[in-house]
């Protein structure tokens, strides 16, 4: 009898130990990126089972779409069939509930409150964007293998507790240069999904440069026909039809991401100049350009046709773009005399405003007279950012030395450039937009953007090598208050995201700064 008792006790003890080892119960230990503002654990767990469904409040199509997004992410790997259902009441135990409540000023437009008990998951926000961000948190507090596209073995347990979370900055973005090398609609959609996973809300598309014009403009068809026909290195180029661009915009909108289109001017315009001789001061179209030099081209700022051209391009783009901004470039116009550059930028701002949009431009535009609501994107010269602030303008922080995704990680990097130095994963993470330049304060900053120039990459895999694992760090800088950010804590969470990136088939750079675990995705 004693012997049996001993055995029984051992079995019970083993069962408890196994459960403790496998069951997530401490919500504060989960690896959410960006790190949430507040996490309180209640020490138990919720089970996702074949009884679980996703309930959304009322008949809102938008909420149903958000619920369906979550179901589409969870069903393939869990093998469960979470359905999206509507309700006016708090649903029965065992379910996930998405609800818009309004009136929680601290959460703002993008924040959320996630309450997980043994009985239910309740996600509440003021606005749908908040629910969408909260869903990314639910994905990230499930085991990493939830991101696989094939059925994995459960159980699917989630630690209980409460997360209250909202961003520091309203603008958290990345940029893709489709001018130097063209990337098709599917590659852009893939990037949009990756941005959404890290709660980023802007994708800036650099749509024109010396080497290529990538957006159909119906009133100036040769821009794409000729100007879109090549790329860096002499590849075949490409462009988005207006229909394709609208498809990208809609895909992004469904993920609470704003597309900001950029037409770079007056420099970086060889593709346009090669397509229309009348845009050149000498009336002669140059050859298409497939090299990597910068700063040699300019629209003819003194010709009236130039402004007719810009007006047509901005009008067509504004009609296709629901977001508030058109990006006018303005960088590295080395062959445009400053006395021509300033009135040019002033006039282009007026054109953009006349079409109902606000201007963003690289930091050089602060040399002109910035219109109220124009934004200077600090990439190179702090003095330009300071000039923008002195004019009362806002600044978007993309300092090349800290935030350029096309900089190499180190001397061994397979892709990228190093004119702004190497940016290892810790360097990319360890800075604060609000203190980098003392004269540019938090209240002057609309947010952060990590741009990716594409001179050295022409396919998704190589793009991902440069984007990951740095992108999650930029997402955290944009979302999480600086006093809650810490490299060692972030590094530990990034290890877990290595598993998630593997599960999502993302080709990331295996930086030696991070102690990646080499075993299976858990």
Nearer to ligand ACM, 210 or 331 (CB): 331
Our finding on whether 340 is near ligand ACM (CB under 6 A) is no
Nearest approach in angstroms of CB 362 to ligand ACM is: 5
The residue (of 30 and 209) whose beta carbon lies closer to ligand ACM is 209
Q: Is 254 in the site for ligand ACM (CB under 6 A)?
A: no
Question: Cβ of residue 294: shortest distance to ligand ACM, in angstroms?
Answer: 7
Binding ligand ACM (rule: CB under 6 A), the pick from 97, 325, 379, 474 is 379
Is 53 or 363 the residue whose CB approaches ligand ACM more closely?
363
Q: Residue count at the site for ligand ACM (CB under 6 A)? A: 4
Interface residue with ligand ACM, options 30, 165, 210, 331 (CB under 6 A): 331
Two structure tokens written together for 400: 């090349």
Best CA proximity match to 451, nearest among 475, 467, 469, 431: 467
CB of 331 to ligand ACM, least distance (A): 4
332 is known as an active-site residue:
yes
CA distances from 169 to 113, 395, 434, 443, 479 (A): 18, 12, 11, 10, 6
Cβ(497)–Cβ(33) below 8 Å: yes
Matching residue, tokens 């990646």? 516
The residue assigned the tokens 């938008």 is 62
Question: Interface mask (CB under 6 A) for ligand ACM, residues 278-317, using x and -?
Answer: ----------------------------------------
Report in angstroms how near the CB of residue 204 gets to ligand ACM at its nearest.
11
Structure token digits, residue 459: 């396919």
Residue with tokens 């990597």: 292
Instruction: Give least dist CB 192 to ligand ACM, A.
Output: 22
Of 175 and 503, the one with the shorter C-beta distance to ligand ACM is 175
DSSP codes of every residue in 272-333: HHHH-GGGSTTS-PPPP--S---S-----TT-HHHHHHHHHHHHHHHHH--SSEEEEE----
Choice between 291 and 356, CB closer to ligand ACM: 291
Examine residue 332 and tell whether it contacts ligand ACM (CB under 6 A).
Answer: yes
Per-residue tokens: 391: 């004019």
**Choice between 84 and 203, CB closer to ligand ACM:** 203
Q: What is the DSSP code string of 16-85?
A: HHHHHHHS---GGGS--SSPPSEEEEEEEEEEE-TT--EEEETT-HHHHHHHHHHHHHHHHHH---PPEE
User: Using H for helix, E for strand and C for coil, what is the string for 157-221?
Assistant: EEEEEEEEECCCCCEEEEEEECCCCCCCHHHHHHHHHHHHHCCCCEEEEECEECCEECECCCCCC
Shortest Å distance, C-beta 206 to ligand ACM:
9
Query: Measured at CB, which residue is nearest to ligand ACM?
Result: 331
Which 349-368 positions form the footprint of ligand ACM (CB under 6 A)?
A: 362
**Could you count the other beta carbons within 10 Å of the beta carbon of residue 403?**
27
Query: Which entry of 62, 244, 247, 332 is annotated as an active-site residue?
Result: 332
CA nearest to 112, candidates 41, 37, 200, 55: 37
The least distance separating ligand ACM from the CB of residue 343, rounded to whole angstroms, comes to 21
Return the number of the residue (160 or 398) whose C-beta is nearest ligand ACM: 398
Do 235 and 171 form a contact (C-beta atoms < 8 A)? no
3 state SS of 263: strand
Give least dist CB 122 to ligand ACM, A: 44
Asked if 370 contacts 139 with a C-beta cutoff of 8 angstroms, the reply is no
For 115, the 3-state DSSP assignment is strand
Least separation in angstroms between CB 176 and ligand ACM: 13
Using the minimum distance from each CB to ligand ACM, give the nearer residue, 109 or 332: 332
| Nearest to ligand ACM of 46, 379 (CB atom) | 379
Give the pairing type, strands 358-362 and 171-177. unpaired
Contact between 47 and 156 under an 8 Å Cβ cutoff? The reply is: yes
Write out the residues near ligand ACM by the rule CB under 6 A. 331-332, 362, 379
Active-site residue list: 332
């Amino acid at each position: 009898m004693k012997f049996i008792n001993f055995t029984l006790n051992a079995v019970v003890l083993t069962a408890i130990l196994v459960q403790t080892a496998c069951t997530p119960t401490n919500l504060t230990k989960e690896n959410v990126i960006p790190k949430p503002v507040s996490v309180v654990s209640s020490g138990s767990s919720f089970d996702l089972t074949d009884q679980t469904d996703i309930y959304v409040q009322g008949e809102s199509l938008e909420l149903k779409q958000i619920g369906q997004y979550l179901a589409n992410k969870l069903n393939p790997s869990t093998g469960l069939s979470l359905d999206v259902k509507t309700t006016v009441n708090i649903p029965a135990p065992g379910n996930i509930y998405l609800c818009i409540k309004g009136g929680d000023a601290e959460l703002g437009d993008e924040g959320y409150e996630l309450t997980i008990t043994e009985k239910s998951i309740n996600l509440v926000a003021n606005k749908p964007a908040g629910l969408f961000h909260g869903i990314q948190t639910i994905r990230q507090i499930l085991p990493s293998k939830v991101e696989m596209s094939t059925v994995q073995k459960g159980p699917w347990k989630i630690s209980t507790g409460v997360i209250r979370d909202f961003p520091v900055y309203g603008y958290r973005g990345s940029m893709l240069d489709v001018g130097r090398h063209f990337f098709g609609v599917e590659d852009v959609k893939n990037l949009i999904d990756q941005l959404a996973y890290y709660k980023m809300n802007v994708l800036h598309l650099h749509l024109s440069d010396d080497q290529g014009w990538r957006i159909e403009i119906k009133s100036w068809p040769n821009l794409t026909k000729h100007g879109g026909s090549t790329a860096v290195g002499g590849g075949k180029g490409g462009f988005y039809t207006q229909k394709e661009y609208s498809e990208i915009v809609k895909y992004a909108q469904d993920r609470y991401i704003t597309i900001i289109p950029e037409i770079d001017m007056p420099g970086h315009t060889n593709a346009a100049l090669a397509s229309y001789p009348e845009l050149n001061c000498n009336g002669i179209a140059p050859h298409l350009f497939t090299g990597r030099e910068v700063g040699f081209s300019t629209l003819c700022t003194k010709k009236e046709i130039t402004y007719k051209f810009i007006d047509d391009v901005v009008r067509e783009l504004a009609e296709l773009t629901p977001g508030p901004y058109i990006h006018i470039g303005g960088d590295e116009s080395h062959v445009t005399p400053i006395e021509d550059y300033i009135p040019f930028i002033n006039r282009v701002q007026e054109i953009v405003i006349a079409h109902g949009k606000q201007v963003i431009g690289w930091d050089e535009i602060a040399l002109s007279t910035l219109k109220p609501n124009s934004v200077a994107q600090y990439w190179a010269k702090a003095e330009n950012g300071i000039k923008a602030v002195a004019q009362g303008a806002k600044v978007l922080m993309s300092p090349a030395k800290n935030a350029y995704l096309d900089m190499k990680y180190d001397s061994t990097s397979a892709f990228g450039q190093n004119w702004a130095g190497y940016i290892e994963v810790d360097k990319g993470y360890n800075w604060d937009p609000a203190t980098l330049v003392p004269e540019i304060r938090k209240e002057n900053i609309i947010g952060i953007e990590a741009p990716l120039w594409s001179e050295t990459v022409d396919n998704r895999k190589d793009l991902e090598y440069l984007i990951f694992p740095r992108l999650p760090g930029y997402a955290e800088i944009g979302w999480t208050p600086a006093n809650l950010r810490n490299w060692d804590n972030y590094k530990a969470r990034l290890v877990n995201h290595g598993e998630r990136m593997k599960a999502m088939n993302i080709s990331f750079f295996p930086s030696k700064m991070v102690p990646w675990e080499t075993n299976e995705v858990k």
